[in-house]
Amino acid sequence: MRPALLRQVVLFLAVAVVFQLLAVAGGQVFLLTQLTMSLYYTLVVLGLSLLMGYAGQISLGQAGFFAVGGYTAAALCTWDLAARRSSEWVAAAERTGLLTARTDAFGALVLTVHPWPSLALAVLLSMALAVVVGIPVLKLKGNYLAMATLGVGTIVYSIPLGTARLGAADGISGVPPFPLLPGISVDGSPRSRIANYYVACVVLAVAMLLLLNLVHSRVGRALRAIHGAEDAATAMGIDTARFKVRTFVLGAALAALAGVLLTHFNGAIGPSEASVMKSVKYVAIVAVGGMGSLWGTLAASLVLNFLSLRGYFGTLDDAVFGAILIAVMLFAPEGILRIDLRRTLGLAARGPRAPAEPR
């Protein structure tokens, strides 16, 4: 592990601990709930940051991957197969632990898919979608890429909306807790609030570490090269199509993971998670945080998501993000937080900064 990067992540965790202690001390433990949600949303944003800030490709469909992850988990974990026990498949699945018998919110005995295989399937499905969509879509540039990703995102949005099985406009609720470790499960109950906060922190910290490593590596350089001068990158032997798709898939995986965990945390998911507006918000946050600065994006994401979830923006929530987008693009296209954060923290490994915008 690179010491400088590890230090950064440890510092992040330390700050997280401080926050938690302050919240408890100040009697504002409930803040941790929104913070936990913000932490998960940040996973989504980081994946997008890699794609936009480093590889220089825009995606207006990131929310779609979050939704694929979340809906898959929700659907599988609430799909009662108890009546089908007589089928061989179901019986075998139950024996091998793929299915779990539990009581649902109403006290009935149900047989549903165990959260762990459901998580695996959700993430894999999201990644598969990213491959299928990414290969043709990422051959496009600029406006075309934006519109294509917008289009895909809209299709993904319309699927749960138009499907009764997936809850249509009401979404899916009654999603059971996720048994992460003995004694720790991801759910929204007040007593596991603090534990869940730390679960989110650790998941995010691990993701940050992996992404920081990636960005400081040969792959990170290749992505920045693609962003900086795509033709030259190709001439240097970089298979740009493959790198773009892989980055897209990685982003989809992170978004799906966030989708699964957040759905278990909230106990529910609705079609709005796949909406275009959500995707746009993610783009806005990446723009604020500085395209190409992972820590900047993380900070921007935590702050903006938290404020939004706490309702600070009220009914003007969408308008605020729209205004942010415009303001950042007009006045600070390199991102507001980018420079400040590094200098203030003073321990930025003398590291890569992606170029601000594609040519």
Partner 1 sequence: MNLAFFIQYLVAGITYGTIYAVVGMGFNIIYNTTGIINFAQGEFVMLGGMVAVSLHHHLPLPAAIAGAVLVTMAVGALIELIFIHWLSRPTVLRMIIVTIGISILIREAALLTWGHDVRVLPYFTGNEISAISLGGARISPQAIWAVAVCAAMVLLTTAFFQWTMLGRQMRACASNRVGAAVCGLPIRNLVTLSFALSAGMGALAGCVVCPITYTQYGMGTGLAIKGFTVAILGGLGNSLGAVAAGLVLGVVESFSVSALPAAYKDTVSIAILLGILFVRPSGLFGGRAATRV
Partner 2 sequence: MPLLRVSSLSKSFGGVHAVRGVSFDVEKGMIKALIGPNGAGKTTLFNLVSGFVLPDAGEVRFDGRPIRGVPPHQVADLGLSRTFQNIKLFAGMTALENVMVGRHVRSRSGFLASMLHLPSTWREEAEVRERSVELMDFLGIAALADSEATSLAYGQQRAVELARALASEPRMVLLDEPAAGLNMRETAELARLIGRIRDRGVTVLLVEHDMSLVMDISDEVVVLSYGEKIAEADPGTVQKDPQVIRIYLGEEEC
Least Cα distance to 78 among 176, 178, 171 occurs for: 176
Contact partner, 158, from partner 1, partner 2, none, Cβ < 5-8 Å per class: partner 1
Six-digit token pair at 233? 């990158």
| Cβ distance to partner 1 smaller for residue 195 or 320 | 320
Tokens 């969509």 identify what position? 133
Sequence-distant (6+) residues with CB within 8 A of 339 are: 290
Q: From residue 275, how far is each of 109, 197, 308 by CA, in Å?
A: 34, 26, 16
Residue 355 binding partner 2, by CB under 8 A: yes
Phi/psi of residue 291, each to 5°? -65, 120
Total residues interacting with partner 2, rule: CB under 8 A: 36
Sequence-distant (6+) residues with CB within 8 A of 196 are: 32, 36, 186, 187, 188, 265
Residue 68 binding partner 1, by CB under 8 A: no
**CB-CB contact of 19 with 35 (8 Å):** yes
Residue 319 binding partner 1, by CB under 8 A: yes
Contact partner, 290, from partner 1, partner 2, none, Cβ < 5-8 Å per class: none
Contact partner, 218, from partner 2, partner 1, none, Cβ < 5-8 Å per class: partner 2
Considering only 326, 340, 344, 347, the residue that binds partner 1 (CB under 8 A) is: 326
As measured in angstroms, the least distance from the Cβ of 335 to partner 1 is 12
Of 257-276, binders to partner 1 (CB under 8 A) are 276
List 99's β-bridge partners, or say none.
113
Residue 135 binding partner 2, by CB under 8 A: no
For partner 1, the binding residues (CB under 8 A) are: 56, 58, 60, 136-137, 139-144, 146-148, 150-152, 154-155, 158, 161-162, 276-277, 280, 283-284, 287, 315-316, 318-319, 321-326, 328-330, 333, 357-359
